[in-house]
Amino acid sequence: MSAARRRLLAGLLTLTTAAAVSACSGGGDEAEGDSSTLSMMVPLFGTAPDPKGEIQTAVEKLIGKKLNITWVPNAEYNEKTNVTLASDALPDVMVIQDNKGPSFVKAAEAGAFWDLTDKLDKYPNLKPKSEQTWINSKTNAKNYGIYRVRPLLRSAIVIRKDWLEKLDLEMPKTTDDLYKIAKAFTEKDPDGNGKKDTYGMILPKWPGTTFSASSPYNVMDVWFGAPNNYGMRDGKLVPEFDVPEFWEAQKYIKKFIDEGLVNPDWATLDTAKWNDPFIQGKGGIIIDVNVRAGQLFDGFKELDAETYDEKVAMAGNLSRPDGKKFSYPFTGFNGIIAVSKQHVRTEAQLDEVLKVLDKLASKEGSILVSNGIEGRNFKVEDGFAVKINDQDPQMKVINNDVEKAFIQLGMTSSVGVPGGAYEWMRPSQAEKDWLKQRDELMNLDLQTAVHDPSLPVISQTAVEKGATLNPIVTDARIKYLAGELTEEQFKAEIKRWYDSGGTQILTELQEGISKVGG
């Protein structure tokens, strides 16, 4: 789409949103007397559910209110959020995906949303279950919404299981093990075709320029003991890239690249094609989120349904050469559900809305939004949900409404975190084992997780100068790994980051962190 068309579209969106939202808010105003209708804005991954469909009716019955939901396709959700925030006609309840983004921060601080920091204790299902995630989901020390839970630790290594077995190698426990595996995958012909046409690890071009972005590089930095984004050293906040451990990690990664143990196009490979070399049998290691193993299972299944379960193995975070282990955690949430002040004006009205959300977050509500209606579209076997009759058109509608839409309202349950709901049954034993292993690894690695203390805080300088500052160190690292910068030149780039505003970011973050008390 050209810039001009995008602008036109944005304009049109503004108009239609204004119209749509004002229509909704008109209804909301009328409804305020009996307050029997709640308006919402929620991301959508498929076709929008019918408001009179079985699932919405069941949800309305559960919460005792009518719902007026604006479903917005996920790809344009953030843009639409920005437009809606600018339109001063906000729905009562909004899913905010980027609750650290400048437009939400500014709107929230201008008073558009309820501050829920001290308000959730009364509601048994909304009360935060994880202190860490509660802190991570803060916006400048305040919670403007209820976080939508995700696994707090998702980092993992996915390895070609058949290659490991062919070369008679063990699953890795340390960073040295991983290096040896990568070396063997490159040099010992794991696919047995007599040619040296494989490589160990697959690295993609990471989108965006933010330095700390859950990339494989960040995960490896943390393994060697560097901070996750920022960390406290001797009472001072330091960035990930300015500690000795970081340099150990860089030497480790550079060894992979210099010795040709990674894909030759590691600086340019699109993340959307990350799985391809793995499935095509070119590379055998991916460091990413644990659910990627599920994608790879599915990819191999398409290729060969007989043997697909013999190709994927997963390992957790690794310990560094001296045996110490540091694990890379995730934030534990994906956006928040915020309550706008536009129609919900008094504490009593807020209480009513929170009670509704509490019901949605209960066991009953969780099952409804993540599985559907028990006995209708699914049944429970061994604690797993199994679909009933899933080729039936009516069931397809229910499953679509649940999986592509209503699951987005899940606060205490979601994909990967069953919460009160049920996990879906996977067909093969290998996959069942994998699901079990995933949870075990997560709990194990959480004990050594290195959390990012800067998450609840926002630095004004970082917002204003991010476009200039972010690429400096991010690009310098890639150039250093590619051999285009020496270590001295890389350090000079880090100094340039400090001088162009980095020092100020650190000061602002440190102030903020001391206020949060994290």
Partner 1 sequence: MATDLAPPATKAARKAEKGRRPGRVPVRTALLRYRWLYLMLIPGLLYFVLFKYLPMYGLSIAFQDFVPFLGYSDSPWVGLKHFENLFTGPDFGRLLFNTLFLALLTALFVFPAPIIVALLLNELRVSVFKRYVQSLIYIPHFLSWTIVFSLTYLLFSVDFGVVASWIHSLSGGGPKVDYMAQPEWFRPLVILQLLWKTSGWGTIIYLAALAGVDPNLYEAARMDGAGRWRQFWHVTLPAIRPTIVVMAILTSGNLLDQSFEQIWLLTNSLNRSVADVFDTFVYYVGVTQGGYSYATAVGLFKGVAGVVLIFGSNWLAKRLGQRGLF
Q: Which residue's CB is nearer to partner 1, number 7 or number 324?
A: 7
Residues near 246 by beta carbon (within 8 Å), at least 6 away in sequence: 221, 224, 226, 240
Q: Which is nearer to partner 1, 22 or 443 (CB)?
A: 22
What three-state secondary structure class fits 446?
helix
Residue nearer to partner 1 on the CB measure, 112 or 159: 112
Q: With contacts defined by CB under 8 A, name the span among 43-51, 107-115, 318-326, 410-418 that binds partner 1.
A: 107-115
Scanning the structure block, which residue is given the tokens 């994608």? 295
DSSP per-residue string spanning 76-103: GHHHHHHHHHHTT---SEEEES-TTSHH
**Residue listed under structure tokens 């995630």:** 133
User: Which residues from 190-229 bind partner 1, rule CB under 8 A?
Assistant: 205, 208-209
CA-based diameter of the chain, in Å? 77
Distance CA 338, CA 341 (A): 10
User: How many whole angstroms separate alpha carbon 313 and alpha carbon 301?
Assistant: 15
Write down the H helix ranges in 224-362: 244-258, 275-279, 291-303, 347-361
The position carrying tokens 């499953």 is 399
* Residue number with CB closer to partner 1 (57 or 503): 503
In the complex, the smallest distance separating the C-beta of residue 342 from partner 1, rounded to whole angstroms, is 11
Side chain identity at residue 289, one-letter code: V
12 binds partner 1, rule: CB under 8 A: no
Size of the site for partner 1 (CB under 8 A): 41
At a CB cut-off of 8 Å and minimum separation 6, what does 297 contact? 308, 309, 312, 428, 430, 431, 434
- Asked if residue 85 binds partner 1 (CB under 8 A), the reply is yes
- The residue among 24 and 105 lying less far from partner 1, judged by its C-beta, is 105
**Does the protein bind partner 1 through residue 479 (CB under 8 A)?**
yes
Tell me the window of 46-54, 104-112, 223-231, 403-411 that interacts with partner 1 (CB under 8 A). Answer: 104-112
Please select the residue that binds partner 1; options are 301, 466, 491, 498, rule is CB under 8 A.
466
Give the nearer residue to partner 1 in terms of CB position, either 79 or 364: 79
* Start-to-end C-alpha separation, the chain: 43
Amino acid (1-letter code) at residue 399: N
One of 13, 59, 107, 226 touching partner 1 (CB under 8 A) = 107
Using the rule CB under 8 A, is 11 a contact of partner 1? yes
- Out of 13, 42, 63, 112, name the contact with partner 1 by CB under 8 A: 112
Q: Residue 15 Cβ, how far from partner 1 at the closest point, in Å?
A: 13
* Comparison of 123 and 497: residue with beta carbon closer to partner 1: 497
Exposed e or buried b per residue across 274-289, where buried means at least 16 C-beta atoms within 10 angstroms of its C-beta: bbebbbebebbbbbbb
Question: CB of residue 7 vs partner 1: minimum separation in angstroms?
Answer: 8
Contact predicate 241/211, CB 8 Å? yes
Q: Which two tokens stand for residue 505?
A: 């970011």
List, in sequence order, every residue forming a beta bridge with 279; answer none if it has no partner.
none
At closest approach, how far in Å is the CB of 11 from partner 1? 8
**In which residue are the tokens 């060969």 written?**
304
Task: Please list every residue from 359 through 418 that binds partner 1, using CB under 8 A.
Answer: none
Rule CB under 8 A: is residue 475 a binding residue for partner 1?
Answer: yes
Q: Is 46 in the site for partner 1 (CB under 8 A)?
A: no
Which residue ranges make up the site for partner 1 (CB under 8 A)? 1-3, 11, 79, 82, 85-86, 88, 101-103, 106-107, 110, 112, 205, 208-209, 263-265, 267-270, 282, 463-464, 466-468, 471, 474-475, 477-479, 482, 484, 500
